[in-house]
Structure 1
Amino acid sequence: MTPSARDANFNEEALSRLCKAIQDDIDNGRMFAASIIVGRGGNIGLQKVFGTVTPDGRAACDDDIYLAMSVSKSFTAALILRAVDQGRFTLDTKVADILPDFAIGGKQNVTIRQLLNHTAGTFRGFLPPGISAENLGNLDQYYASVASIPIDYAVLGKILVATDPKERNFRTIAKEELFDPLGMEHSCFGLAEDHENRVPNHTGSLSKDALVPEKEARNMPDSPALYSLLGGYVRGDGHYLTGAGYTASPRAFYGVGGGSTMWMVDPDRDLTVCFFSAGFIEGLHHLERLSKINDVALSACNW
């Protein structure tokens, strides 16, 4: 599909401002590369790539494959909701009714709904014990190593495997039930390291750009961006950060991947935005960047 601002009912000048905002972030050292698609009503109004995706300077291409980060949770959630539609379980099914080992450590009443909306009370800050980094992608090993402790695991994929009538692994379920039907032929869980279109998401010379009390107290310079934090969690009244954009409609929803990725849908404007980048930044600043990108995209919508 050839992008057309006119066919998608976009203001071309506003889309130009959106491209400039992304290029400015690259020029100012906040990322190395980016790819964005903006569409309305089934028509693509903007599809463009920016910057270089590898440390040796390869220019970004339309067929680059990015690390989705936590945007991939949206894929798993969609598969879970599809399984609910199929009657395999409900949102209020207890996880332990499907995966009995999960009940250990006070988790016996956690439901699938609570896993989806991050209210299960489990903590994700530590790597599980007894498993090496290269085996983190092995769902069976990962689940076995963490089922007995009340911290750090994502079991929605394991639930899909345990209830799959065809007894497929998670990667195959995602391919056959989600990616293939939607025509997402280049999307997958797990990509060969030597794949020619793989974008190595690296930090290179980027600054960590995070508020670190120890650094501030000692008036130390910014350190390299060796990690990224995703967002902040707040309680109480006041103004909340939103990656959807402050001019988005109340029904708008979005997904964010740590320091680099995002999708957003505003159903009232029939607007979809998808943004992937190479080079992590600190999570709160990532949300601010996404809010700016989406606000400019929203301003491009001709009513």
Structure 2
Amino acid sequence: MNAPVKVDAYPLPAGDLKKHGIAARQIDHLDALIRQHIAEGRYPGAQIALARHGELLLFRSYGKTAQDAAAAAADDRTLFQMFSQTKVFTSATVWTLIEEGKLSFMDKIADHLPDFAARGKQDITLHQVMSHTGGFPSANVSEATWTDHELMREEVCDFSLDWTPGTRMQYHPRSAHLVQAMVIEAVTGKDYRDAIRERITEPLGIADDVYIGVPEAQDNRCVMISGDGELRDNRRAHRVAGLPSGGGYGTARGITALYQMLLNGGTLHGRRIVSPRLIAYVSKNHTGEMPDAAMGGTPMHRGLGPHVRGESDRIRGLGTIGAPSVFGHGGAGSSYSWADPTSGVSFSYMTNHFAAEPWHTLRLDRIANIVHAAID
């Protein structure tokens, strides 16, 4: 992985909540709830950001960077582990390759990774991988691949099927985006972490806010994750690895800027990343009401990167009262970010604790509903 070449200024100018029709009373409720959670010991620290129509209206940091009483206070430079929110950045890099004609959603993975055809995977398409219908949700790579991407490619190509591709939808927590990362490397000839930076975070002006692979110079900005989640890994080796499924670190304002770009047809303050038609395609429901066994049978309405609120009574992370077109993604036990095409609002909520269910999902619904209720 190469060191970042440049860091552009953050792209969203500050705006006023009242002028943008965001109810101050609801924001006060949100602030009070987060402070209550921290006082109850639910998580050591948090960060939130809210933007609308290209302006950043709210960016606040709370609590501490770690559960240790001597830990530093979280501030606006603090980088929170994104967990699976990383997935949208990996997929967004694939989107740019689609628009250049270097990939198609209907390509077979084996077209770009010939050895992927092993173990009956020869017909799996990029669309199936990105919509979590590929059939290998339990696959993963060894830690040795974190510093050896040739080995990572070999292990990805050797993934075994759990069920027939295309017959079910089940969240692939690690495997789907490992495949996407290896396709990115095969097509671009670059480390996927460099491709994400060069194609997404640098052009957007959030290269100092979102890192997929944390440079040593930025390591002291990273939170320490508390809790008992199996994905919790506070080692430097994990932070620098920048795993494409959940290894990113970022600020809430950095993530909400990505979603502002998606709400603005793929362009943010003159910086074009993808087209409006591509965004319309990847942010729609590609899996209907298929239940997701990994999410307790909830229909997750998978797009090709984010997932969509839809019309179901049950939904995870995007808010019960959110508009059906709201789309976004969460981070295991910790966070969620989303965009609302009906209002132009994007919102990000980050914490540094891996919370168990059912409390994690319950608090996400409360947080999201407060924000939806604030939108005029």
| TM-score, with structure 2 as normaliser | 0.68
Q: 1:157 aligns with which of 181, 189, 198?
A: 181
Residue by residue over 1:133-187, the C-alpha shift from the partner in whole angstroms, topping out at 9 and shown as x without a partner, is 35435432222124223166321011111111xx221111111111000001222
Q: Equivalent residue for 1:268? A: 342
Amino acid at match of 1:301: I
Q: How does 1:1-303 map to 2 (within 5 A)?
A: 1-2=13-14, 4-54=16-66, 55=68, 56-124=70-138, 127-128=140-141, 131=142, 133=143, 135-136=145-146, 138-150=148-160, 153=175, 154-164=178-188, 167-186=189-208, 187-192=210-215, 195-203=219-227, 225-227=228-230, 232-234=295-297, 239-302=313-376
Query: Structure 1 CA distance, aligned partners of 2:194 and 2:315?
Result: 36
Give the letter for the 2:372 counterpart. L
Conserved 8 A contact 1:258-1:283: no
**Corresponding letter in the other structure for 1:263:** S
Distance 1:235 1:261, change over 3 A: closer
Q: Residue 27 of structure 2 contacts residue 371 of structure 2 at CA under 8 Å; is this kept in 1? A: yes
For the residue of structure 2 that corresponds to 1:68, the secondary structure is: strand
Q: Is the 8 A contact 1:15 1:300 kept in 2?
A: yes
Letter matched to residue 213 of structure 2:
G
CA shift, 1:100, in A, is 0.7
* Conservation of the 8 A alpha-carbon contact between 1:32 and 1:279: yes
Question: Is the 1:38–1:271 contact (alpha carbons within 8 Å) kept by the matching residues of 2?
Answer: yes
Could you say which structure has the higher helix fraction?
Answer: 2
Larger Rg: 1
1:60 CA drift (Å): 0.7
The answer on whether the counterparts of 2:325 and 2:342 sit within 8 Å (CA) in structure 1 is yes
Contact 1:135–1:141 (CA<8 Å) still a contact in 2? Answer: yes
Q: Distance in 2 between matches of 1:234 and 1:160?
A: 31
TM-superposition CA deviations, 1:108-141 (whole Å, max 9, x none): 11100011110000022x654xx4x354354322
How many pairs are equivalent? Answer: 275
CA distance in 2, matches of 1:73, 1:185: 16
1:52, CA displacement in angstroms?
0.7
Contact 2:229 2:355 in 1 (8 A): no
Deviations 1:60-100 (A, max 9, x none): 10011111110000001111111111111211100011101
- Find runs of 4+ consecutive structure 1 residues off by over 4 angstroms: 228-231, 235-238
Which residue identity does 1:77 align to in structure 2? S
Residue type at the aligned position of 1:296? I
Residue 206 of structure 1: aligned partner: none
Secondary structure in structure 2 of the residue aligned to 1:104: helix
Quick one: distance in 1 between partners of 2:37 and 2:106? 43
1:3/1:47 contact within 8 Å kept: no
Would you say the 8 A contact 1:228–1:281 is kept in 2? no
Displacement after TM superposition at 1:238 (Å): 7.3
Per the alignment, do residues 138 and 283 of structure 1 end up closer, same or farther by CA in structure 2, a change over 3 Å counting?
A: farther
Q: Secondary structure at the match of 1:247?
A: coil
Letter in 2 for 1:35: Q
Contact 2:45 2:64 in 1 (8 A): yes
Contact 2:313–2:320 (Cα < 8 Å) also in 1: no
Summarize deviations over 1:1-26 as a string: whole Å, max 9, x none: 44521232211111010111111111
